[in-house]
Amino acid sequence: MDTVIKNITLIDGTGHEPIENAVVAIREGKVLYTGSASGWSDGAEENITYLDLRGKFVLPGLIDCHVHLSGSGEADSQFQVPTGQMALKILKNAQRNLAAGITTVRDLGGWSELEFDVRRAIQRGEFAGPRMCLAGRFISITEAGADYYIGMYRVADGVDEVRKAVREQVKHGADLIKMGVTGAVLVESGVPGTTHFNKDEVHALVEEANKFGKRVAAHAHGIDGIRKAVQAGVNTLEHGTYLFQDPHVILHMAQHGIFLVPTLKVGWDIILAKDSKIPLWMMAKNKATQGEAALSLKMAYEADVPIAMGSDVGTPLNFHGENALEVYWMEQAGMSRMDALVSATGNAARALGWEAWLGTLEEGKVADLIVHDKNPLEDLRMLADKTSLQFVMKDGLISACHAGHQLPKELFAKNYLSI
Ligand SMILES: [Zn+2]
């Protein structure tokens, strides 16, 4: 059975101009054709379900390259819950992403390997949920953050321990490895500018990860740590707050295709919070670094460093389902509206190394798509507006929609969610 979506405006995620009066044809979960209606013919095929979505906007399902499924945006972020409850929380948060049109998430710090169990259950079709690219635990030196986030961290000091920590994540099924190269903003005693891992440890981690064909995401704020990470050959730089301090490092990232994942929303959510439960130290640290993080993104963008969207949802007041507001904050920091959108589609897939089959609506790629009532290119905040979002397809099947829909039954996944 084929599905043909017609009379739409197509924004395909590559950065090309939108195509009006477009068609998306889907066969066996993959894109068979996208483009102008004039280039499409049904041919001899008889078994076709048509979806006439006149006036609607169709985009690829969004990809968030930095989430924490184990956090739900608790104000103090020092949460401890029993294991069974945590597994359900991870599943619930994963579903909140899918129901908001985030069809793929990259989790950069899970909880006691429970996210792997959740992913298996979703892959078996027992529950609706997004595609999950998982790092397992956040590999860190001995530091206070490991006491805060007990199930999220894997403490490793010295080259041998670092190698062992990588092997553990690979054993559990990690798609990539996450390392904390500098201190953190969201740890009370953390000093974001301070380097944590030494050069030999960073190099050993990247070498060990690459040996298993795994990419590396480096959490780094301070410029010395950023420099160590990019010189060791990490694939994505998370946060990158003080990147602006060294244009040579920015140039190196552009030349080597190392992605910046700026995570601006997390800071804005705390700074703009009306919630008095946000600890004072957390407020002060975010106010001190937010302008610098935005400047670093602007400089990297202007220097042609590839940029991928990561919202860091799960952190305080940064709720699953609101991820797409990150795209708006990236535009506010200086990216063009279309480039900000591509950072959550085509470029995000490249940051994951999954671009051969994911991220844009092009022939042969998986048919993950979202349908909006309003044009997100008029206001990127629309991407997070659930009144505009009509339905979500994953693998060519409807995985989330509103109650009272009039969509054909045969297009639904076995399990689907309410928007
Ligand atoms: Zn994070």
Residues 6+ apart with CB under 8 A from 28: 396
* CA 47 to ligand 1 center in whole angstroms: 45
Q: What's the pLDDT at 358? A: 98
What is the predicted pLDDT for the residue at 370? Answer: 98
- Would you say the pTM of this structure is higher than 0.85? yes
Distance 338 CA to ligand 1 centre (A): 25
Q: In the prediction, which pLDDT does 43 show?
A: 75
Please give the pLDDT value at position 25.
Answer: 97
Q: Which residues neighbour ligand 1 (ion) by CB within 5 Å?
A: 312
What is the CA(138)–ligand 1 centre distance, in A? Answer: 9
Cα 19 to ligand 1 centre (Å): 35
Q: How far is the CA of 9 from the centre of ligand 1 (A)?
A: 34
CA distances from 112 to 81, 142, 151, 263 (A): 12, 18, 5, 24
CB 395 within 8 Å of CB 366 = yes
Distance (angstroms) between ligand 1 centre and the Cα of 184 equals 9
Tokens of 21: 């009066």
Cβ-contact 70, 151 below 8 angstroms = yes
Ligand 1 mean position, distance from CA 378 (Å)? 29
- Residue stretches of the chain with pLDDT short of 50: none
Q: What is the pLDDT of residue 311?
A: 98
CA–centroid distance, residue 109 to ligand 1 (Å): 7
Q: What is the residue type of 191?
A: V
The pLDDT assigned to 268 comes to 94
Alpha helix positions (H), 259-393: 265-271, 280-302, 325-332, 337-342, 346-352
User: What's the 126 CA to ligand 1 centre distance in angstroms?
Assistant: 28
Q: CB of 256 within 8 A of CB of 216?
A: no
Q: Give the pLDDT score at 79.
A: 67
Give the per-residue pLDDT at 78. Answer: 62
**364 exposure class (CB count in 10 Å sphere: 0-12, 13-18, 19+):** exposed
Quick one: which of 219, 212, 29 has its CA closest to 143?
219
Please choose, from the candidates 256, 389, 262, the residue with its C-alpha nearest in 3D space to the C-alpha of residue 321: 389
CA distance 393 to 327: 21
Measured in Å, residue 357 CA sits from the centre of ligand 1 at 26
- Distance from C-alpha of 174 to C-alpha of 122, rounded to nearest angstrom: 16
Residue 5 Cα, ligand 1 centroid: separation in angstroms? 36
- Closest CA relative to residue 59, chosen from 418, 408, 374: 374
